[in-house]
Amino acid sequence: MTYQIIANNSIMKYYILTLILMSGALLNAEMRKGPYLIYPNSDTRMSVLWQLRNETECTIDWGRDVSYSDGTANTKEIVPGENGHIHRFTINKLIPNQKYYYRIKENETFHSGTFMSGDGAGDDTTRMFVYGDTRTLLVNYNKIARSINNFIEENPIWQTMILHCGDWNSDDEEITWDKEHFNSEYVFTKRLLSIIPIMGTRGNHESEAIQFNKYYRYPYVETGKSYYSFDYGFAHVSVVDQYVDYSVDSPQYNWLKNDIISSAKRWKILLFHEPAYSDLGKRPNNENAQKYLQPLCEQYGIKLVFSGHNHFYAHCEVNGVNHFTFGGGGSELHPVSGTGEGLIKSISKFNYGRISLTKDKFNITVVDTNGVILDNVGIGGGTSNSESYINPKIEIYPNPSSDIIYYNLPESKSNHSVIIYDIMGKRIVSTEPVVQNYGSIDVSEVDSGSYIIEITTNTNSYAQTISIIR
């Protein structure tokens, strides 16, 4: 009997020691945040990031099925220290428009996810999601994530990217990023982070953006500033940091203007937090955004602007520029008043948007946490259960101009030529035929005044008034 007790005690000690060692292994390297994704501005690459609780080397495997046979790599942390231990690995040489599976191994634990490679235009349509103000009330954000997850499962072609309109958390403290955006107890948000990259802007709740810039390591133009841009399918997205000077002739303003002018993408999009135009039920419109950003939109043909800050959905159209407020991503809702310059519609419900872009049309579908369509901005701006599109007119920018005029045609590539007439019908400038749906024309030698620009394609002729100033 005594031997039995001693033997049992030995076995018990063995099990206790094993449990301690196992627990120690888990504590030595436990996933703290992620995995999550960032789009590295390439249709053949994807960046995977995660944070551990301690310094530990990891292994990442990837492939086009769960054999993960396309590649493997060892990773080390890129940010050391108590609140560091962040790993980032960019998978290269991907085949565009393919679904990939990946898994991260830390000690003996695996953490997995998937993503779709490419630039979102595999079938001649660019698709993106958009939401904002996901902070504080995680149960609501989790419902948004659940709805998006379900929609992607039913529509795999939508496993693309999310535009985030800012206010990711209640504040920018390390513990808040643990408890809110990266809280693993909310299974739908955790899964969403692992299957789709989020490209977003800084909100006022990001404060100095120290942790924001640490976790979401976008290609920022200036160190410590949160403005940058990227291309995705037919879209060029310029992300504005409203908490850094963006007044005329500031470094950010000059960068933004050049960034917009330099892009040849069909759709140019602005993403920032505090809206220039929205429903006035909670807050006034941002005057600086009206003063500095709206003129750029009008001059350079920007039709789509996405913001948050107000916790509801709103759509305003001002001088041909569509301003969307997507602030219903989780935080407490704000009331709507039904008033505001250019306001077309506003709804105080938790929501997110689905953006569809083709070569000549765009569509914004707004849905609630249950996937019910709240608004469908298309022909006529009505609400329906089917995709409809806005067919834009010819875009001329800048207008007025003093040297170069740029244009976009609302159709696919086609032979076209350009002629500029004065008000008496005299031909002033003409070009040789070109094969594309955009271009530019030099008017630096043309006198000040009003003119007609006529662009003729194989199937259509477009005419618009322009002004030239000296």
Q: What is the DSSP string of 416-454?
A: EEEEEEETT--EEEE---EESSEEEEE-TTSPSEEEEEE
Cα separation, 124 vs 358, in Å, equals 6
| Beta-strand relationship, 109-116 and 71-75 | unpaired
Cβ neighbourhood burial of 445 (10 Å; 0-12, 13-18, 19+): exposed
Residues 16/22, Cβ–Cβ less than 8 Å: no
At 130 the pLDDT is: 98
Task: Give the predicted TM-score (pTM) of the model.
Answer: 0.79
Task: Kindly report which listed range (114-128, 168-182, 199-213, 346-360) carries the lowest average pLDDT score.
Answer: 114-128
Work out the mean pLDDT of the chain and round it to a whole number: 88
CB neighbour list of residue 118: distance below 8 Å, 6 or more residues apart: 43, 96, 97, 98
Read off the tokens for 385: 């259960």
Q: Mean pLDDT across the stretch 165-192?
A: 96
Reported confidence tier of residue 450, pLDDT bands at 50, 70, 90: confident
At 7 the pLDDT is: 40
Cα separation, 90 vs 3, in Å, equals 58
Cα-trace Rg, the chain:
26
* H/E stretch holding 259: helix 251-262
Comparing CA positions, the residue from 318, 273, 327 lying closest to residue 294 is 318
Cα–Cα distances in angstroms (integers) from residue 402 to residues 186, 431, 441, 444, 445, in the given order: 55, 18, 11, 6, 9
| pLDDT tens profile 383-424 | 333 445 554 457 787 888 888 888 877 655 567 889 998 867
Residue, of 135 and 401, whose pLDDT is higher: 135
Instruction: Write out the residue limits of the CATH 2.60.40.3080 domain(s) in the chain.
Output: 395-468
Reported confidence tier of residue 334, pLDDT bands at 50, 70, 90: very high
Does residue 469 register a pLDDT over 60? yes
Task: Kindly report which listed range (23-27, 134-138, 312-316) carries the lowest average pLDDT score.
Answer: 23-27
Cβ neighbourhood burial of 410 (10 Å; 0-12, 13-18, 19+): middle
Residues 96/43, Cβ–Cβ less than 8 Å: yes
Does residue 78 register a pLDDT over 60? yes
At 439 the pLDDT is: 84
DSSP state of 300: T
Task: Kindly report which listed range (82-96, 286-300, 403-417, 426-440) carries the lowest average pLDDT score.
Answer: 403-417
Task: Kindly report which listed range (97-111, 204-218, 330-344, 368-382) carries the lowest average pLDDT score.
Answer: 368-382
Percentage, residues of the chain above pLDDT 70: 88
CATH node for 395-468: 2.60.40.3080
Does residue 441 register a pLDDT over 70? yes
310, HSE (Cβ side, Cα atoms, 13 Å):
29
Torsion from C-alpha of 457, 463, 465, 469, nearest 10 degrees: 20
| pLDDT tens profile 283-320 | 999 999 999 999 999 999 999 999 999 999 999 999 99
Q: Mean pLDDT across the stretch 186-193?
A: 96
Q: 31-116: CATH homologous superfamily?
A: Purple acid phosphatase-like, N-terminal (2.60.40.380)
CB neighbour list of residue 128: distance below 8 Å, 6 or more residues apart: 120, 160, 161, 162, 163, 232, 235, 354, 355
Cα separation, 429 vs 421, in Å, equals 7
Cα separation, 327 vs 329, in Å, equals 6
Instruction: Write out the residue limits of the CATH 2.60.40.380 domain(s) in the chain.
Output: 31-116
Cα separation, 334 vs 328, in Å, equals 9
Instruction: Write out the residue limits of the CATH 3.60.21.10 domain(s) in the chain.
Output: 126-381
Does residue 13 register a pLDDT over 60? no
Q: Mean pLDDT across the stretch 441-459?
A: 85
At 411 the pLDDT is: 58
Q: Any idea which fold 126-381 has?
A: Purple Acid Phosphatase; chain A, domain 2 (3.60.21)
Residues 452/394, Cβ–Cβ less than 8 Å: no
